[in-house]
Structure 1
Amino acid sequence: MKNLHVKLLALILIVLSATITFYKVTELKLPLMPVEEADLWTVEAKVTYKASPGPSKVTLLLPKQVPGFILLDENFVSGRYGLTLEDNDLNRIGQWAVRRSKGEQTLYYRMQLIPGEKEKFKDKTPTYPQPVEYPEIMRTAVTVLLEEVRSKSADIKTFAHELLIRLNEPNADDNIKLLRTEATTPRAWVQREISILQGANIPSRQVNLLVLTDGARHSKLVPWLQVHNGQRWLAFNPKTAESGFPANAIIWYYGDAPLLSVIGGKSEKVDFSVYKQSQGMAALTQQRAGKINPKIMGFSLFNLPVQTQNVYRILVMVPLGALLIVVLRNIVGLKTFGTFMPILIGMAFRETELLWGLFLFSVLIALGLMIRFYLEYLRLLLVPRLAAVLIIVIILMTLLSLLTHKLGIDRGLSIALFPMVIIAMTIERMSLVWEEHGPSEALQQCAGSLLVASFSFLIMTNALLEHLMFVFPELLFMLLACTMLLGRYTGYRLSELWRFRSVILKG
């Protein structure tokens, strides 16, 4: 009955741990592998204008959706201005207003992005354009051009590609030269192409891109062309006819409306600044997941202060060392001094490195053991003897640190990180085993402790395991379940099977 109770409880813990981890990986997109750094893009739009005496109202079109990127944060620096945000079809509108202003005014909009899986882009299904009434001088040129392009294309994509090639070819005929008149700016040229596509009854629109270039200042938006093929929007370079968007480009807004408009001012201007920095991928991913589900991510370890985070990065690894000790002692049958002493020694090895840690620990135990044998002749009581051993351990650690420092061995200074109380208890325990069971048993337990401490060090310093335990602390439930199941194991240990191998072979 008790076995069934433990198994059911362990099953519940495993299912709970696996469910939370699966949700974080699939829905919140938390990484399973430790990625050191990721690119964080910061985009800043600086709005300047000269205000007239009296009230002013500034309207700036803002991104509503950023396909291919994940918006981590945005903020507005507006001083004494009031701010309102509105949704307008596929765009957002930011409006600053102030009752009284005068002279040069500056406003800022800043957002932070990281590359990521494309969000579910909510686009609208276009309606077919109304017939266009071209000027008399352009009507014939448009009709001839559309007929020539239609004969050399098979669908809307190839039609748009062929049309853009014809419109931008260097050796243009008279019809193309006529269509290029009065379309001298990039925005005007895109609108001219849209007008021609309307003559072919093809839905099209202008999108305005910001190309992310690290260190860019005074950047401007680039107009781009999109054509609908009946199923989805296709992007084209309006100058070269290349399909798709440029690398590291974001859609700032859709349509041909002005990016910035000011009421109560003049000489308005928008400058874009872009810079890239590398930050820890795990922290950025946690921040992104907090946007998706802030309730769950509110309990993330990343919300703790950085100093506390560093502590928990070590603490969450201790259960892995505890599970290792359970396996090595209950399943393998290794003997150690104390239950969790090897874990603490393994944690100390994080600062000393493994080989230096083993050497310093062995020297410390050997010297302490010799002095402990001397104390035996003094016939001290238990508590004073333990206090004396502790003081001796501190003296030895101090002398070893001074000696290694004099010799120029800086690694020896890390001996101060060893758990002195645990070492004192280890020396006391080893001396008792030495007296009661002989030096062979004492040395075996000492070797077993060092072996387990080495394995604990290798596990607790594994980058993948540290990442998993810190980002997915719910895995602690799974470790608890495994420990409970191992706690009900009453079979033979591997060391016992090896010890009685002759009997087993005869049987």
Structure 2
Amino acid sequence: MKRFHLPLVILVLCSASLGMFFHKVYNLGFPLLPAQTADNWIVEARVSFEPTGGAVTARVFIPNEPKRFALLDENFISRGYGLTTDLSGENREAIWTTRHPSGRQTLYYRTTVSQLERERRMEAPYPGPVSMPNLEEPYRSAADAVVQRVRERSADITSFATVLIRDMNNTPDENMALFVSRADTDRDKVRTAIQLLAGARIPARMVHGIPLTDRARDLQPQVWLEVHNTRQWVAINPNTGAVGYPPNFLVWWYGDQDPVRLQRARNPQISFAVTQNFQDAVDVAQQRAQMMDSRVVDFSLFGLPIQTQNMYRVLLLVPVGAMLIVLLRNIVGVQTFGTFMPILIALSFRETQLLGGVILFTLIVSLGLAIRFYLERLKLLLVPRLAAVVIVVIMIMLALSILSHNLGIEHGLSIALFPMVILAMTIERMSLVWEEHGPSDAIRQGIGSLAVAVAGYLLMINPYIDHLFFVFPELLLIVLAVTLLLGRYTGYRLSELLRFRALSGRGNP
């Protein structure tokens, strides 16, 4: 059981991390790339009417979990009106009420919608075959003939509806002409199609929607047909018979009802305006999570104060740098002074920039090492010697800052961001290695530390890595799992394979 303990821990960490990651990406829409924007649409419905006296009630259909879209924000704009929202069958309606209106009234409903990668709304169950329409002659016989002729040229419910619509729009025969002659508008055409589909016991409904076109004004709803194929509702274009809604089509309401119903008012008018809006994809994902009642955002970094967020943008990269050090030390075999000194120096390089940071680091360590050799002649105890090294390091940093400022080199001012204690310990360790193993080992470890710091810096300034670990901090569980896995590696390091390649016997006769 003990041999499977670590693999089990790694499996649990990776599963939890990837599960949360895929949920945030595919369900909530958090972006994988930095500075990514999402296409949103702002849709505004303008309703106007004339009161006829007394208290007025205006009921207006508004979107209710539209297909392929998420409602990110809603605003109801009116003056002196009370407002409630309610469900009316498959539709949702806004109910405006007022007691003493005067003059022509105008109400506004505005919503911001974002397109979903996949459908979130659950399909309604199959309503079952509908009742046959009660038609009088000659319409009954004509409807039976139309249904029989369409059924012979179709294979299923969807193809039946498309063939029927095409027959209605093409040159109709005498039976179809009896129905088409009464269909002057798209709405009449859909009513006729629903009636004929009922003759085949196929459930169908009328759908009204808005095409999302940038900077469009005074739009009127478009009428579509939907039929249920026993699994889901399928959209049919009433003019062409094509299956499926066009791109960026927002379903507004269902049924053969007017979008505005009034009490004690007359002459209702409704028009729509649409504009495209580009919004940060992270903001859109947060709004979508709130709309879906997801608790993920409640436990994300975005709820923290901005100052704290900026701090964690740096701290979250430290585990990544630590994993890099483990990889370079245990697998590659790079020798460094200390375990975390290179990654702390790499954090300092983020402020000093790479070239200036390398020059300043090399200069401070070189001067500090020279003074450390002088302190060795004074025969000081360990703690006083370390304290003296720290003081000397601070004095060197101060002198370099003043000198660079006088020379107009502003990068030198950021030398104060170097971790002084880490520099002091690095100087102490380097001097000990110099004395015990010689200058070559000390210089080799110093160059290795600087190389690892540079690699850590290049990793941590990568905007994609910064974005991924800030938006998806659960990925740190994978970093932890990889670190645990590397911790069990006991094989040869790459540097050892190069050092001892002569002992492998290759090339010997």
TM over 0.5: yes
Deviation at 1:299, TM superposition (A): 0.6
Deviation at 1:227, TM superposition (A): 2.5
Match of 1:34 in 2: 32
Which of 383, 387, 395 aligns to 2:391? It is 387
Q: Structure 1 CA distance, aligned partners of 2:71 and 2:281?
A: 15
Contact 1:70 1:116 in 2 (8 A): no
Q: Relative to structure 1, is the Cα distance of residues 431 and 159 closer, same or farther in structure 2, using a 3 angstrom cutoff?
A: closer
Seq. identity, %: 37
Can you give the 5+ residue segments of structure 2 that lack an aligned partner in the other structure? none
Q: Structure 2 CA distance, aligned partners of 1:50 and 1:401?
A: 74
Q: Structure 2 CA distance, aligned partners of 1:164 and 1:54?
A: 46
Contact 1:68 1:116 in 2 (8 A): yes
SS of residue paired to 2:271: strand
Q: Structure 1 CA distance, aligned partners of 2:357 and 2:478?
A: 35
Q: Relative to structure 1, is the Cα distance of residues 23 and 394 closer, same or farther in structure 2, using a 3 angstrom cutoff?
A: same
Q: Relative to structure 1, is the Cα distance of residues 483 and 352 closer, same or farther in structure 2, using a 3 angstrom cutoff?
A: same
Q: Does 1:314 align with 2:314?
A: yes
Q: Does 263-272 or 31-40 show the bigger shift?
A: 31-40
Deviations 1:110-134 (A, max 9, x none): 2432322112433242344444344
Q: Does 1:456 align with 2:426?
A: no
Can you give the 5+ residue segments of structure 1 that lack an aligned partner in the other structure? none
Q: Structure 2 CA distance, aligned partners of 1:365 and 1:253?
A: 70
Deviation at 1:204, TM superposition (A): 2.0
Which of 356, 363, 367 aligns to 1:366? It is 363
Match of 1:432 in 2: 431
Deviation at 1:223, TM superposition (A): 0.6
Deviation at 1:400, TM superposition (A): 3.9
Q: Structure 2 CA distance, aligned partners of 1:192 and 1:326?
A: 72
Q: Relative to structure 1, is the Cα distance of residues 78 and 391 closer, same or farther in structure 2, using a 3 angstrom cutoff?
A: farther
* TM-score w.r.t. length of structure 2: 0.80
Q: Structure 2 CA distance, aligned partners of 1:228 and 1:488?
A: 58
Instruction: Please tell me the residue identity of whatever aligns with 1:113.
Output: S
Mapping 1:54-453, distance limit 5 Å: 54-78=54-78, 80-103=80-103, 104-134=105-135, 142=143, 145-146=146-147, 148-169=149-170, 179-292=179-292, 294-350=294-350, 357-358=354-355, 360-362=357-359, 365-366=362-363, 369-370=366-367, 373=370, 382=385, 383=387, 386-397=390-401, 399-400=403-404, 403=407, 412=411, 418-419=417-418, 421=420, 424-425=423-424, 428-429=427-428, 432-433=431-432, 436=435, 438-453=438-453
Instruction: Please tell me the residue identity of whatever aligns with 1:341.
Output: M
Contact 1:225 1:238 in 2 (8 A): yes
Q: Relative to structure 1, is the Cα distance of residues 298 and 191 closer, same or farther in structure 2, using a 3 angstrom cutoff?
A: same
Deviation at 1:402, TM superposition (A): 6.1
Contact 2:78 2:106 in 1 (8 A): no
Q: Relative to structure 1, is the Cα distance of residues 262 and 309 closer, same or farther in structure 2, using a 3 angstrom cutoff?
A: farther
Deviation at 1:319, TM superposition (A): 0.6
Contact 1:129 1:201 in 2 (8 A): yes
Q: Relative to structure 1, is the Cα distance of residues 344 and 402 closer, same or farther in structure 2, using a 3 angstrom cutoff?
A: farther
Q: Structure 2 CA distance, aligned partners of 1:483 and 1:427?
A: 24
Q: Structure 1 CA distance, aligned partners of 2:215 and 2:415?
A: 46
Q: Does 199-208 or 120-129 show the bigger shift?
A: 120-129
Deviation at 1:95, TM superposition (A): 1.6
Deviation at 1:78, TM superposition (A): 4.8
Q: Structure 1 CA distance, aligned partners of 2:488 and 2:123?
A: 54
SS of residue paired to 1:213: coil
Q: Relative to structure 1, is the Cα distance of residues 281 and 79 closer, same or farther in structure 2, using a 3 angstrom cutoff?
A: same
Instruction: Please tell me the residue identity of whatever aligns with 1:161.
Output: T
SS of residue paired to 2:55: strand
Deviation at 1:165, TM superposition (A): 1.9
Contact 1:75 1:109 in 2 (8 A): yes
Q: Structure 2 CA distance, aligned partners of 1:178 and 1:118?
A: 39
Deviation at 1:419, TM superposition (A): 2.0
SS of residue paired to 1:101: coil
* TM-score w.r.t. length of structure 1: 0.81
Q: Structure 2 CA distance, aligned partners of 1:371 and 1:296?
A: 49
Q: Structure 2 CA distance, aligned partners of 1:413 and 1:174?
A: 91
Contact 2:57 2:98 in 1 (8 A): yes
SS of residue paired to 2:447: helix
Q: Structure 2 CA distance, aligned partners of 1:190 and 1:168?
A: 12
Instruction: Please tell me the residue identity of whatever aligns with 1:257.
Output: Q
Deviation at 1:496, TM superposition (A): 5.6
Q: Structure 2 CA distance, aligned partners of 1:262 and 1:214?
A: 31
SS of residue paired to 1:298: helix
Instruction: Please tell me the residue identity of whatever aligns with 1:366.
Output: L
Deviations 1:71-115 (A, max 9, x none): 444443455533333223322222222334333342324243232
Instruction: Please tell me the residue identity of whatever aligns with 1:34.
Output: L
SS of residue paired to 1:40: strand
Deviations 1:332-385 (A, max 9, x none): 4433234323213323444566xxx14542355237634863797697975455
Deviations 1:431-455 (A, max 9, x none): 7358635543332122111211122
Instruction: Please tell me the residue identity of whatever aligns with 1:220.
Output: Q
Contact 2:226 2:233 in 1 (8 A): yes
Deviations 1:153-200 (A, max 9, x none): 44443333232223222x556666653445333222321232233344
Q: Relative to structure 1, is the Cα distance of residues 427 and 339 closer, same or farther in structure 2, using a 3 angstrom cutoff?
A: closer
Q: Structure 1 CA distance, aligned partners of 2:163 and 2:211?
A: 25
